[in-house]
Amino acid sequence: MKPEMRQQLARLSFEQKIRKVSDLIRLSRKIKSSSGDAVLGRLDKAAAELDSGKGVPLARVREKIRGWAGK
C-alpha cells in the first residue's frame, strides 16, 4: 500500500479504525475457516479413497518404512 494511503488511514477516527480492525478480524477468520474446510475436504477425500481400497493404510506405510529402514 502507498505511504500516502497508509497516512490517510492513520488519520481516521479511532472508532473508524476499530471498525476496520473488526473487518480484518472477520476476513482473517473467514480465510482460516475456508482453508480449514479445504484441509478437511482433502482428508475426507483421502478417507473415502482408503475406504474404497484406492489408498494405502497408514499401518501398511509404517510397515514398509520399517522394512526399508532395516535394509
Partner 1 sequence: MAEERSGIPLADVLRAANELVSAGLIKDYALGGALAAIYYTEPFTTYDADIIFIPTDETLTAGIPAIYSHLQSKGWRVEHEHMLIKDFPVQFLAARGLTEEAVRKAAPIEYEGVPAKVFGPEYIIAIAASVGRHKDLARIEQLISQTTIDEALLDDILRRYNLKLPKR
Residues that bind partner 1 in the complex, under the rule CB under 8 A:
3, 6-7, 9-10, 12, 14-15, 17-22, 24-26, 28-29
Q: Which residues contact 55 (CB under 8 A, 6 or more apart)?
A: 46, 49
Handedness of CA 6, 11, 14, 19 (dihedral sign): negative
Q: How far is the CB of 30 from partner 1 (least distance, A)?
A: 9
Q: Which is nearer to partner 1, 17 or 60 (CB)?
A: 17
Q: Which is nearer to partner 1, 15 or 51 (CB)?
A: 15
29 in Cβ contact with 36 (< 8 Å)? no
